[in-house]
Structure 1
């Protein structure tokens, strides 16, 4: 694919499709716990990428630049110059209903719509996971799971980095789903010393957590998972930012995207009264479906189970 136009026919499913929001039970052994979360401090930085900058190399270098073991990121503005990507596809059978397309390429400059990234480690090397959407010169909107080789365009890219000194983000193959997924691990004093050019700030580490980064497993309802993370951390009010992952289709207040999987280019929202019996949770986001098409809206409460994984970032506001 070039210039934003996919040239291969969409692979059709060989099994009956279900309604958006229907949970999927994966073929692998069910893992526990279903939500893994790590409280952490958080510092913000802005990364400005000039034209031609290698997106993945730049994001991965930020781990060393800021001497942290994990970063969540959301893209603010700018342009892609070259994009390599895949998007969700139907899997081979009913037991494995989710997969990815072949790789596509966009060669012309495209304006950023939304993007989020998790930056951490795989096999002890820097690694990042990026979902994005864009608008090409013809006004067509597309999106997907970006691949190495993606470059910043003529207007560059501005990216907001949320550096996490207390959360070691590691990508491994998940035995339940068969896909690679990031999970947070608490930073040990030995790792903190080894990964930083200076001694760890023990006084700062003793302060209450400013944020929580979490991995949410398949079948967990997204807004319920956000509330559970807030309650476990003791947050009464919080914001959801720089989060990405997949649900089984998407169920918005005013529409849907098709089952069995869509990928979020971003998830944002707010939680108030989390410690009360009547909390308020509002989440909105944008997703890419099996046709590479982009939909967005406010998520319908208690209607969006995680498909493969969700990399969730919640920051305290109370």
Structure 2
């Protein structure tokens, strides 16, 4: 049986950043803009806080497309984790979230968007040749691939 490891990037720890995102801002766009402005090409992202509304997704493996779930009420970000890599030559944020409502019901998935009520985000930059995303025909996703 072959290795389950398809690609490995050896990177070293770089700068650390803590951010408070602006009330009313769009969370995915804000984190992406921060990565671009700081020229972060690879990194680890985590965070906590609250959103006024959100859209999370689930990847339909048969149809090869994301299904979106709109959450039109306030939620707590009980977990936010993801990474930054390169897609189409620019920093790309891939982030998942678990969100809890006022009754403790939890929804989770790929975070497509969200309006910030209050959010604190941590980015750990990784230094070295960054992973680059390209289209994978087997899954329909943009996955990390080896580049020349």
- State the TM-score bracket (shorter-chain normalisation): 0.7 to 0.9
Q: Quote the Cα distance in structure 2 between the aligned partners of 1:174 and 1:42.
A: 29
Q: Which residue of 1 aligns with 2:90?
A: 125
Q: Which residue of 2 aligns with 1:107?
A: 72
The runs of at least 4 consecutive aligned structure 1 residues that moved more than 4 Å come to: 183-186
Cα pair 1:41 1:166 within 8 Å, conserved: no
Q: Quote the Cα distance in structure 1 between the aligned partners of 2:5 and 2:86.
A: 21
Unaligned ranges ≥5, structure 1:
1-31, 93-98, 187-318
How high is the TM-score relative to the length of structure 1?
0.41
| Equivalent residue runs for 1:105-254 within 5 Å | 105-147=70-112, 149-153=113-117, 156-183=118-145
CA RMSD of aligned residues (A): 2.7
> Which of 38, 46, 55 is the matching residue for 2:10?
38
Q: Quote the Cα distance in structure 2 between the aligned partners of 1:111 and 1:39.
A: 32
Q: Quote the Cα distance in structure 1 between the aligned partners of 2:128 and 2:61.
A: 37
Q: Quote the Cα distance in structure 2 between the aligned partners of 1:166 and 1:101.
A: 31
Structure whose alpha-carbon radius of gyration is higher: 1
Question: 1:42: how far off?
Answer: 2.2
Kindly indicate whether residue 45 of structure 2 is the aligned counterpart of residue 81 of structure 1: no
Q: Quote the Cα distance in structure 2 between the aligned partners of 1:40 and 1:136.
A: 37
Unaligned ranges ≥5, structure 2:
none
Q: Which residue of 1 aligns with 2:22?
A: 50
